[in-house]
């Protein structure tokens, strides 16, 4: 069983090392569960152990956990990557070829809200492309519900809003 847990950890490290952006817990879970490598509970245990060991970092934004490989994770992967079969590496490569745009877009558009010291709620909206911030906007609104709606709409309409801003401001 320990060998299998080690393999799952290496798969996650390998995936995170192959992209130039953080992946969400859900994105990694989708791949691993779709391929039936393991079950959800074991996968969450493995992600937790990788985080505790400092091999991946985790940041939660509006109920989504974004995962990124750390330098310790890269070093570990470098030493043990040969334990991942070529078939699994091929599965990962094909997954990224098929879904890279969607994966990148999902983590490049961020929206979160928080209660400001003034008592208002602030919705922070960010759009990035290849690590470069395109838009970073904070809107103050009176209610938590309105802030949540703004965040939800940003997820759906960010490209449209970005195009409007650039057309109007340039």
- Tens of pLDDT, residue by residue over 79-97, are 999 999 999 999 999 998 8
Burial 62-80 (b: 16+ CB within 10 A, else e): eeebbbbbbeebeebbeee
Q: Class assignment of domain 2-107?
A: mainly alpha
Query: Is the pTM of the predicted complex or chain greater than 0.75?
Result: no
For the segment 10-21, the average pLDDT, to the nearest whole number, is: 92
Would you kindly state where each structural domain of the chain is located, as residue ranges? 2-107, 108-169
| Positive/negative CA dihedral, 89, 95, 97, 103 | negative
pLDDT at 1: 63
| Weakest-pLDDT range from 112-121, 125-134, 141-150, 161-170 | 125-134
Q: How far is Cα 48 from Cα 52, in angstroms, rounded to an integer?
A: 6
State the angle between helix axes of 40-52 and 25-34 in degrees (0 to 180), rounded to the nearest 10.
Answer: 140
Query: Residue 156: which residues within 8 A CB-CB, separation 6 or more?
Result: none
- 60-72 confidence digits (pLDDT tens): 876 778 899 999 9
* Contact indicator for 121, 146 with CB cutoff of 8 Å: yes
pLDDT computed for residue 24 by the predictor = 87
**How many other C-beta atoms lie within 10 A of the C-beta of residue 12?**
25
């Amino acid at each position: 069983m320990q060998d299998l847990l080690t393999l799952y950890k290496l798969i996650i490290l390998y995936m995170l090392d192959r992209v130039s952006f953080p992946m969400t817990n859900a994105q990694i879970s989708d791949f691993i569960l779709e391929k039936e490598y393991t079950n959800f509970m074991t996968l969450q245990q493995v992600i937790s152990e990788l985080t505790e060991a400092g091999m991946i970092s985790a940041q939660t934004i509006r109920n989504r956990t974004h995962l990124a490989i750390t330098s310790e994770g890269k070093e570990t992967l470098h030493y043990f990557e040969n334990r991942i079969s070529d078939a699994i590496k091929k599965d990962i490569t094909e997954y990224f070829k098929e879904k890279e745009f969607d994966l990148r877009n999902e983590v490049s558009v961020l929206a979160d809200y928080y209660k400001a010291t003034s008592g208002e709620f602030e919705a922070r909206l960010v759009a990035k492309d290849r690590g470069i911030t395109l838009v970073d906007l904070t809107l103050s609104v009176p209610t938590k519900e309105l802030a949540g709606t703004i965040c939800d709409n940003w997820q759906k309409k960010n490209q449209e809003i970005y195009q409007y801003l650039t057309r109007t401001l340039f």
